[in-house]
Structure 1
Amino acid sequence: MKNFLVLAILTLAGCAAARTQTPVAVYDFGQQRLVTVSDSESTGNGRLKASLLVADATAPTWLDSSAIHYRLAYHDLAQSYAYASNRWAASPAVLLTQRIRSRIAGISDEGVVSAADGARTDYTLRLELEEFTQVFDTIDRSRAIIKLRASLIETGSRSLLAQRSFDIERTAPTANAAGAVRALTEAGDKLIGNLIAWLTEELAEEKKEAGS
């Protein structure tokens, strides 16, 4: 009888925990937005005339998960936290890589591929995601920060043609996970616009030098 009562109590406790468990909200970057005038101006209305392999972005271990990270600048900027009931649909590196490939494919005449495709290309774009975080300056004011290093490599010779670091910030509209998602998505789109403008310029310069 005693064992039965213990089992009943544990069962009721488990049911109560299941009923009170907070559902997890899952986010991605949303639908690909339409290219605006400012986007066209940022890329100089240029087209990519070379085939490009966009390698999967790499990220440090702490960032290589689906967690939505934040830091408290007013407490300890070196410490990273993660929202318990909110997460990305995939790691930020994966989501950002997909977004970059999609945007570049829209302006490429020769196509964009991934390493899994096994196709030969003229150039390779390597991406290193260094930061993808919401930073709280005060308890009710925060911003999104993304840091990325891009390397353009000639595939045949494996020589580094150009390299650049990108650092983008966006104010978060709300001091919570939803605000982080919106600000990080907007910052990501701005970063991609800057990346494409740089990539277009570098490939155009490379083609000019090769033809001279």
Structure 2
Amino acid sequence: MKQMLLLIFTIFLLTSCTGLHKPQPAISTYAFGMQHLSSIEQIPNQPHLHRKSLLIADAAAPIWLDNTAIHYRLIYHNPAQSYAYANSRWIATPATLLTQQIRNRIITNTPEQVIRDSGIVKADYTLHIELNEFIQLFDTTDSSHVVVSIRVSLIEQNSRKLFAQKDFSTTENTPSADAAGAVFALSSASNKLINELVNWLTVELPPA
């Protein structure tokens, strides 16, 4: 009887140890997909006029967005509560990714002189970006869309006055109701929103 109990106890210990050392699921990390650029409205060519210098400040975000999580809400269940995917995340915070994309797009698609460090060269204008929404919303268990929303403010550096301000918001359906679908749609929606921002900026910034 003792041998039987000892055998059962040994099997229990081995089973417990095996359960404790189960391999953890791999974490998938994502950046904005550049493949979406060809499928969105292209920015029209602007006249190559010399314009004043522009400092693009790092985008600000609310506390709940200031991390690398991919967030979603269940509109059909509890729209006020935010969730995050356990095994999927951004390679950097959405605000950081958005700032990088905006800087790159302004540099490559406009004649603006973008200043990266105001401590070295003084900029004529500063662009402040506030990220308000960057989330996947589930309408049903198998249907979702994303929302990206920002507010941008153009500040004249000499006077420190608000020169122009605008809210941008866009939505897009996800190709699948999961993290990969959220990444695809958020990347595409962000690219569209950045196009709108760059078009607005080329109109608002006065020539030198």
Asked if TM exceeds 0.5, the reply is yes
Map of 1:67-86 to 2, 5 A cutoff? Answer: 67-86=69-88
Three-state SS of the structure 1 residue aligned to 2:163 is strand
Deviation at 1:143, TM superposition (A): 0.5
Aligned CA distance change for structure 1 residues 29 and 46 (closer, same or farther; 3 Å): farther
Correspondence for 1:178: 180
* CA distance in 2: counterparts of 1:175 and 1:183, whole angstroms: 10
Within the candidate set 16, 26, 29, 2:29 is matched to 26
Correspondence for 2:98: 96
Do residues 150 (structure 1) and 152 (structure 2) align? yes
Question: How much is the aligned-residue C-alpha RMSD, in angstroms?
Answer: 2.7
Aligned CA distance change for structure 1 residues 175 and 46 (closer, same or farther; 3 Å): farther
Q: 4+ residue runs of structure 1 moved beyond 2 angstroms? A: 11-20, 30-38, 44-48, 107-111, 113-119
Aligned CA distance change for structure 1 residues 109 and 175 (closer, same or farther; 3 Å): same
Three-state SS of the structure 1 residue aligned to 2:129 is strand
* CA distance in 2: counterparts of 1:68 and 1:104, whole angstroms: 26
* CA distance in 2: counterparts of 1:54 and 1:151, whole angstroms: 10
* CA distance in 1: counterparts of 2:204 and 2:196, whole angstroms: 12
Do residues 61 (structure 1) and 63 (structure 2) align? yes
- Structure 1: stretches of 5+ with no match in the other structure: none
Structure number having the greater helix percentage = 1
Correspondence for 2:136: 134
Correspondence for 2:171: 169
Q: Aligned residues, how many?
A: 199
Aligned CA distance change for structure 1 residues 171 and 133 (closer, same or farther; 3 Å): same
Output the TM-score relative to the length of structure 2.
Answer: 0.85
Deviation at 1:137, TM superposition (A): 0.6
Aligned CA distance change for structure 1 residues 136 and 35 (closer, same or farther; 3 Å): closer
- Structure 2: stretches of 5+ with no match in the other structure: 1-8
Whose radius of gyration is greater, 1 or 2? Answer: 2
* CA distance in 1: counterparts of 2:127 and 2:17, whole angstroms: 50
Q: Which has the higher contact order (CA 8 A, sep 6+)?
A: 2
C-alpha distance after superposition, 1:89-130 (max 9, x if no partner): 010000000000000011343521334764211110000000
Contact 1:49–1:108 (CA under 8 A) maintained in structure 2:
no
Correspondence for 2:4: none
Correspondence for 1:113: 115
- Letter of the 1:136 partner, please give it: F
